[in-house]
Structure 1
Amino acid sequence: MPEGKIIKALSGFYYVESQGEIYQCRARGNFRKRKLTPLVGDIVQFEAENKTDGYILGLKDRFNELIRPPIANVEQAILVFSAMEPKFSTLLLNRFLVHIESNQIEPIICVSKIDLLKPEHREEINEFIADYVKLGYTVLKTSIYMEELIEEVRPWLNGKTSVFAGQSGVGKSSLLNSLKPELQLETNEISSHLGRGKHTTRHVELIPIGTGLVADTPGFSSLEFTEIEAEHLSDCFPEMRERAHLCKFRGCTHSSEPKCAVRADVEAGEIAAYRYEDYLSFLDEIKQQKRRY
């Protein structure tokens, strides 16, 4: 039975690439009974009499999956956050990073629209970038008007399946258009009334760029922590993960326990206060969710 990878899902159809050919398939009814939904990125077994009339019969095991955007078997995430329009949001970036870390996906932070930075904001953005670099994250600056910065992104995409994600309006589609102009993905300007971008991507699709595959995904501005347990949240913060063994109590949540190494380093300025405050906010959100359930 042939195998292939789902490269696009749209209106109930799955487009499966196998040996350089693309087959339009539907999923067999037994997937619904087993509460399974094929995702872009899945390796599947399928049958097809021709290129427009195929059926997916089986799914190979996934090594990870995301719910929003719905995609499987992702190796790295390019988290696109604009320096301006909309304004750079560490709270939203930290929320994205938690979800990416919890799925064992390698994050790359991409600060877009760097050309829009006014002098009075440049120092603040550079300080944020320095904080994330210190934590071990790769941070790239980009502008669709600066070819040399676009070229710095390309090597990171080669040989991997990557997902482009971030708040709507940050320029994900514009960046992809710059990397591969023939895509001609739809883009929209920021709404001056709402202060945020319109959703321009309606479905998830894997696009070949260089020797890698890149997913352009629907923009979104919030993520719930339904899949993350309170006791595991700190594992998604590198600065807490590496200090956990120094805390007095095993399983320390770094919120109120005595002799907590993380809180001590926050007070000493070794851990960014805004990262710790976001952690406490996420921890409370997870606890509140569990109570509702």
Structure 2
Amino acid sequence: MDSQENRDTKTGVVTKSTGSWYTVRTSSNERIECRIKGNFRIKGIDSTNPVTVGDRVTYTMVEDGTGVINHIATRDNYIIRKATKLSKRTHIIAANIDQALLVVTLQYPETPLMFIDRFLVTAEAYHIPAQIIVNKIDLYTGAIEKELSDFKAIYTGAGYEVIEISAVKNVNMDSLVKILKGKNSLISGLSGVGKSTLINTIDKSLNIKVGELSDRHKAGKHTTTFAEMHELSFGGFIIDTPGIRSFGLADLKDELAHRFPEIRRVMDECQFNNCLHINEPNCAVQAGVEAGSIASSRYANYVSMLEGDEDDPYRQNIHAV
């Protein structure tokens, strides 16, 4: 016969994390507020948050109607970043996701290419398919239109799909719905790129709070405080993350070249097996940069990441608001 504890033990998926409390969605679509049991740590991961949105968990009900999480099922995948510039610990953004969508803007505010490349490298490292969503295309005229064309060439050339949308004007949002339907999708980006407006446009029932830009810096003000998973009316789930102002890499340098698809495609043609693609002779990667088949901006960011340049212009362009 099952013990009382076993009868009270249930399973669910974490849909929201506020640091000390976790909202768990049950199979019957109930929401249970849970804490974690004691000094909960996952072997091999030194993170600031042992439980994250998307985790499949086992919890036990207690007398006050809340739950205590006592087990996390093996994750299919997860995506992390360094918690802070100086910290060696990591922050798990989400787990068990089918794809990662990075929302970027070329202006209002500008998303630096280094931020984009760090995000894509991390997604590659954890084997999560990534796509780039360029928002606010209704605002891009003149020179910015040429910049958008160049941007698309860089990232489609690297092997990524780039989707142009305007959440405010409802431009090309049907394409985004097709991408999201039936999948667990992480959506991320700098503050101010229009993630909340985007989510509200594809599913008006969600009613996510929308923020505004800082007049001083043209950067976004945080509206999403904690990561949260929302069920989409047309099928699937979307994980909305807080606007990120930095995306530090977490110990990915050993296989960094493998995390750039366009470098990975040609690196076996280098003369030396241990080629770092910096100044070695007969390097296929450097030859690709010279020939234009590898974007110079992507290569420069690869070198910067490899050398651990944490003070690159990317960080200086991100303003605190």
CA distance in 1, matches of 2:19, 2:120: 30
Deviates more, 1:170-179 or 1:8-17: 8-17
Q: Does the CA contact (< 8 Å) of 1:6 and 1:15 recur in 2?
A: yes
Normalised TM-score (structure 2): 0.83
**Cα RMSD over matched residues?**
2.2
Which letter does structure 2 place at the counterpart of 1:173?
S
1:87 aligns with 2:110: yes
Looking at secondary structure, tell me which structure has more helix per residue.
1
Match of 2:153 in 1: 130
The partner residue of 1:6 within 2, 8, 14 is 14
Which letter does structure 2 place at the counterpart of 1:54?
G
Normalised TM-score (structure 1): 0.91
CA distance in 1, matches of 2:104, 2:310: 28
Runs of 4+ in 1 over 4 A off after TM superposition: 32-36
1:211 aligns with 2:235: yes
Secondary structure of the corresponding residue to residue 5 of structure 1: strand
Secondary structure of the corresponding residue to residue 63 of structure 1: coil
Secondary structure of the corresponding residue to residue 302 of structure 2: helix
The partner residue of 1:171 within 173, 194, 209 is 194
Inter-CA distance 51–207: structure 2 relative to 1 (3 Å threshold):
farther
Which letter does structure 2 place at the counterpart of 1:90?
L
1:281 aligns with 2:289: no
Q: Does the CA contact (< 8 Å) of 2:80 and 2:122 recur in 1?
A: no
Identity over aligned residues, as a percent? Answer: 36
Match of 2:31 in 1: 22
Inter-CA distance 278–246: structure 2 relative to 1 (3 Å threshold):
same
CA distance in 2, matches of 1:225, 1:164: 18
How far off is 1:77 after superposition? 0.7
Secondary structure of the corresponding residue to residue 147 of structure 1: coil
Q: Does the CA contact (< 8 Å) of 1:78 and 1:107 recur in 2?
A: yes
Q: Does the CA contact (< 8 Å) of 2:79 and 2:94 recur in 1?
A: yes
1:31 aligns with 2:40: yes
Which letter does structure 1 place at the counterpart of 2:235?
T
CA distance in 2, matches of 1:42, 1:192: 38
Matched pairs, number:
287
Q: Does the CA contact (< 8 Å) of 1:225 and 1:286 recur in 2?
A: no
Secondary structure of the corresponding residue to residue 173 of structure 1: helix
CA distance in 1, matches of 2:310, 2:263: 19
CA distance in 2, matches of 1:11, 1:275: 35
1:248 aligns with 2:248: no
Match of 1:291 in 2: none
Q: Does the CA contact (< 8 Å) of 2:62 and 2:68 recur in 1?
A: no
How far off is 1:134 after superposition? 2.5
**Structural mapping, 1:176-187, within 5 Å:** 176-187=199-210
- 5+ unaligned residues in a row in structure 2: which ranges? 1-8, 82-91, 312-321
